[in-house]
Copies of this chain bind each other. A is one copy, B any other.
């Protein structure tokens, strides 16, 4: 009656890891994510999300965290379950049925940039994914981007992309990169300040070309749950 004898399936955990990097051409900040080139069948040589079979010793989120370590050598600033994908025919070329529990994560701008990528890992802008990806990973990436865009509008996760202290213009550029549209600086300022999600450090950024902006830090969260459960409309 156990899974070993009856289910014949693999439970895997994959993670969509987001980072902000400047576009190599325009220089504008955009969303990027790491993909791993598969070295085995099925989908050999295709790009895929980082991940692997669930180790029995780890929680689901731990597994996602470990995947991040192996792929990017950095800790996520935000980690959240996205969805469980398990249709019978989602990996027709695989020898066994694969059920994937997918997480998405944010890594900070500062940490991320000075890190050497692992073997077979390459970062790509989310708008230029070298598809088709392995399995149903194109679909998963789309879901993850949508979730991120939806969540940034009502949750202070954007802070996860920034260092400890930041200006409101920094924060606004993060929002603009995620949402892919310009935001009015003055209204953005008011919105953020009225939310109470940032605290004035009392200090200002030095060495700027013009008027030095105030520095803020993100305010401690008052989350209702230890876990986070999320959605896309």
**Interface status of A187 (Cβ within 8 A of chain B):** no
Q: What chain B residues lie within 8 Å of A26 (beta carbons)?
A: none
Partner of A97, one of B56, B84, B87: B56
Do A56 and B4 have beta carbons less than 8 Å apart? no
Q: What CA separation (Å) do A8 and B233 show in the bound complex?
A: 35
28 contacts between A and B (CB under 8 A): A1-B53, A3-B4, A3-B7, A3-B9, A3-B11, A3-B53, A4-B7, A6-B53, A7-B11, A7-B53, A9-B54, A11-B99, A54-B86, A59-B88, A60-B84, A81-B84, A83-B227, A84-B101, A86-B101, A99-B101, A147-B229, A147-B231, A151-B231, A228-B232, A229-B232, A230-B230, A231-B231, A231-B232
Residues of A within 8 A of B (CB): 1-11, 53-54, 56-60, 81-84, 86-88, 96-97, 99, 101, 143, 147, 151, 154-155, 224-225, 227-233
